[in-house]
Structure 1
Amino acid sequence: MANAVKTTGYFSSLPCGEVTSTRLSRTSRSCAGLTRSAVGLCCSMNHEQAGDLRSVKEPLSTPFRNHDHEDKALQYKDLFISKVGGAEHPKRLHCQLYMVDALEKMGISRYFSCQIKSILDMAYRWVKDSKLDQLPFARQKLAYFYLSAAGTMFPPEMSDARIFWAQNGVLTTVVDDFFDVGGSKEELDSLVRLVEMYDSDPSVLKDVSHVQYFLSSACFLDIVNQKASALQDRDVTKHLVQIWLDLLRAMMTEVEWRMSNYVPSAEEYITNSALTFALGPIVLPALYLVGPKVPESVVRDPEYNELFRLMSTCGRLLNDIQGYEREYTEGKVNSVSLLVLQSGGSMSIQEARKEIQKPIENCRRELLRLVLRREAAVPRPCKELFWKMCKVCCFFYSRSDGFSSPEEKAPEVNAVIQEPLLLLDASLHRSPPGGVTELFPSA
């Protein structure tokens, strides 16, 4: 391999533009005493907006970006209550708050608090049973991945999708750390071969180290295969295995580049690194669990691959902008360093970061266009998962490398999973003087 490849213009060759906003209906979730993730499980109530609340702008730092009915719920609720205070407010919203008060008195808050605790306990128990917590090189990011799942997939019927989204997210992080710092070249080669042979020859497990055994056996969560295959009325195991193989082979390519001091072209880099950003094992299995049938013809459709490519490319470039210094110290190339290199040193790091924003904007715009397109091979609920993950990436990487930081996103984790969602004034959700008849005026 050559040590340098000319890459001029690749990252800047894509057109860019702002993502066009679509009209949103906002959802009011004012559930006293419920945690923020439980809000989406019980009270999904649309209402008419008044005045300047229609033009609320959403900050980039929020994990719940626009273009989703649920995404603006917490922000809109907080802003609405801060504006109306104890003054008059729409009767329909008053009705909704009264209904929430009734649910609260029935013990709904305690029920959902117990449900969330049960789910998290199960997830952490799975980490322990898989012995992933015994791997000294591995980052433990279960809370972050459950945050991304609970913050984007509200409906109760998506419980399995949320759990497996979080579990596979943990696995991809552990595997990434194993390839970066935890394994030798021989162990990495052995792990890839093990996954390739797992289906046909399970006896290969006796010839590998305990680390490889834990990683490979965890990658094949039988319950994921069983649930996905049952919902789809067909065996999807081979596809789930292939998703992991694609990731491991791409990670091995990066290892070989690093060990040989090979500098890839920008196109080589982004094609491979979009895979190693490791969104495949998180998002793609979840498509089988959100409801619609996903036949093999959909998986092979160009639209399916393009949705995945755009989502992964956007996430990778966001990560590159914020993680440049960390990856530089690890001896890795990324899109920022490649831009500086192809400029012959005339471009600064900050200029390169700014330039990378253009293809990010383009990927987001094109991804949203595909998600909103009516005539499509991929079912709409499945397409929305690609967009939701894109928003999660923006949440973690829009301002800094929030995913790698153990503290930066802790407040958001607590806000969504732990802290109760309380109304500022209990008087806001008491029955009006006219009683129930005033809540439901005649037409």
Structure 2
Amino acid sequence: MGFRRENTSYCYFGATTPISLPLDLEVRKIMAKSAILDTVADDFFDEHGSLDELQCLTEAVQRWEGEGLSGHSKVIFDTLDDLVCDITLKIFNQQGHDMKTLFQDFWREAFDVWLRESEWSRSKHAPSIDEYLRVGMLSIVVQAMFLPACYLASPKHPQNSLGTRYSKITTLLMLSARLLNYIQSYEKEMKDGKLNMVPLYSKENPEANIKDSVAYIQNKLEGSRSSCLKLQ
């Protein structure tokens, strides 16, 4: 598309690392395709799309209707719709459950927070750490990438997991992935003038330096990992 990071191989090998059995081919495909789409859309919101384009695309995803879209926005929406329909059909054929609305909601949530992050960046708004982390947990899109694959891989996965250990595990996975991303990307993002939790923590805690900020995030990451292991 002319603007995105090229990480197709990275996404596929990332999916094969935890899921390597030959019979899990379709699960790997779902994870890889979802990760690739996540990268394309995230880059579009971060760097390429105008605010008007991003608002129109987000509104289209919220109503799940691509009429009026053009260019990159139309390509992204049509690809997203095809992907969700494909995953939904595979799970319906295997289990007899229609999960389309749930999977659409995962992506609706993702596009909504991508737009919010883009608005923060363009207006130079610095949210509180708590607000930034709440949004960041959703914008990492773990739920849209991994939960559909889990439904296909595990036919007995509960259809209503609210209030169960599965929802807690998902939340902790989202948190861990985002905290790890903050630690790994803060140097590049600070250089590019982008938001990151590391400088935000320093801003809210003037006595803390960058090293203190990283240590704070690492401590939260270890706590999240420990809580996740207790749920296994």
Q: In the alignment, residue 250 of structure 1 is paired with which amino acid?
A: V
- Number of residues of Structure 1 aligned to a counterpart in Structure 2: 230
Does residue 241 in structure 1 map to residue 107 in structure 2? no
* Residue 295 of structure 1, CA deviation: 4.0
Match of 2:74 among 207, 210, 213: 213
Does residue 179 in structure 1 map to residue 42 in structure 2? no
1:340 is aligned to 202
Aligned 8 A contact 1:229 1:237 in 2 = no
User: In structure 2, how many angstroms separate the alpha carbons of the residues matched to 1:194 and 1:237?
Assistant: 16
1:156 is aligned to 22
Aligned to 1:285, what secondary structure does the other structure show?
helix
* Residue 331 of structure 1, CA deviation: 3.1
* Residue 272 of structure 1, CA deviation: 0.6
What's the % identity of the aligned pairs? 30
2:54 is aligned to 188
Aligned to 1:296, what secondary structure does the other structure show?
coil
Aligned to 1:288, what secondary structure does the other structure show?
helix
Alpha-carbon deviations, 1:138-188, whole Å to 9, x = none? 112111111111111122221111111011110000011000011011111
- Written as runs of structure 1 = structure 2, the 5 A alignment for 1:255-270 is 255-270=118-133
User: In structure 2, how many angstroms separate the alpha carbons of the residues matched to 1:248 and 1:302?
Assistant: 26
* Residue 239 of structure 1, CA deviation: 0.7
Q: In the alignment, residue 335 of structure 1 is paired with which amino acid?
A: M
Q: In the alignment, residue 287 of structure 1 is paired with which amino acid?
A: C
* Residue 302 of structure 1, CA deviation: 4.4
* Residue 329 of structure 1, CA deviation: 3.3
More relative contact order, 1 or 2 (CA 8 Å, 6+ apart): 1
* Residue 275 of structure 1, CA deviation: 0.9
Alpha-carbon deviations, 1:362-402, whole Å to 9, x = none? 111111111x2xxxxxxxxxxxxxxxxxxxxxxxxxxxxxx
Aligned 8 A contact 1:232 1:294 in 2 = no
Q: In the alignment, residue 248 of structure 1 is paired with which amino acid?
A: F
Q: Aligned-pair RMSD on alpha carbons?
A: 1.5
* Residue 291 of structure 1, CA deviation: 2.6
1:419 is aligned to none
Aligned 8 A contact 1:258 1:332 in 2 = yes
Alpha carbons of structure 1 residues 302 and 250: separation in structure 2 relative to 1, 3 Å: farther
Q: Which has the larger radius of gyration?
A: 1
Aligned 8 A contact 1:139 1:173 in 2 = yes
- Written as runs of structure 1 = structure 2, the 5 A alignment for 1:83-98 is none
1:52 is aligned to none
1:358 is aligned to 219
Gaps of 5+ in 1: 1-134, 373-443
TM-score, scaled relative to structure 1: 0.50
Q: In the alignment, residue 225 of structure 2 is paired with which amino acid?
A: R
1:58 is aligned to none
Runs of 4+ in 1 over 6 A off after TM superposition: none
Alpha-carbon deviations, 1:410-433, whole Å to 9, x = none? xxxxxxxxxxxxxxxxxxxxxxxx
Does residue 329 in structure 1 map to residue 195 in structure 2? no
1:273 is aligned to 136
Q: In the alignment, residue 283 of structure 1 is paired with which amino acid?
A: F
Q: In the alignment, residue 280 of structure 1 is paired with which amino acid?
A: Q
Alpha carbons of structure 1 residues 251 and 156: separation in structure 2 relative to 1, 3 Å: same
Aligned 8 A contact 1:310 1:364 in 2 = yes
1:310 is aligned to 172
Does residue 320 in structure 1 map to residue 182 in structure 2? yes
Gaps of 5+ in 2: none
1:223 is aligned to 86
Aligned 8 A contact 1:232 1:288 in 2 = no
User: In structure 2, how many angstroms separate the alpha carbons of the residues matched to 1:332 and 1:228?
Assistant: 39
User: In structure 2, how many angstroms separate the alpha carbons of the residues matched to 1:294 and 1:238?
Assistant: 17
TM-score, scaled relative to structure 2: 0.93
